[in-house]
A = this chain, B = another copy of it.
Amino acid sequence: MNLILLFPAEVSGDHVTLTDHRAEHVRTVLRSKSGDQLRVGLLNGPLGTATVETVARGSVSLRLHLHGSVPQPCPTALILALPRPIMLRRVLAQATALGVERIFLINANRVEKSFFQASLLRDEAYQAALIQGLEQAMDTRLPAVSIHQRFRPFMEDVLPAYLADYPVRLLAHPTASAPLPEVAPLPLAERAILAIGPEGGWVDFELDRFTACGFRPFTLGPRILRVDSAVPALLAQLELLRHLPPTAG
Query: Residues of A with Cβ closer than 8 Å to B?
Result: 2, 71, 90, 94, 97-99, 136-139, 179-181, 186, 220-226, 228-230, 232-237, 239-241, 243-245, 247-249
Least Cβ–Cβ distance between A73 and chain B, in angstroms: 11
Which 3 residue pairs of A and B lie closest in terms of their CB atoms, listed nearest first?
A233-B236, A137-B223, A229-B232
CB distance A137 to B240 under 8 Å? no
Of the candidates B90, B224, B226, B230, the one whose C-beta lies within 8 Å of that of A138 is B224
CB distance B181 to A224 under 8 Å? no
Least Cβ–Cβ distance between A137 and chain B, in angstroms: 4
A235 to B139, alpha carbons, bound, how many Å?
Answer: 23
A229 to B229, alpha carbons, bound, how many Å?
Answer: 7
A244 to B185, alpha carbons, bound, how many Å?
Answer: 11
CB distance B2 to A229 under 8 Å? no
CB distance B136 to A225 under 8 Å? yes
Q: Which residues of B contact A223 (CB under 8 A)?
A: 97-99, 137-139
Least Cβ–Cβ distance between A185 and chain B, in angstroms: 12
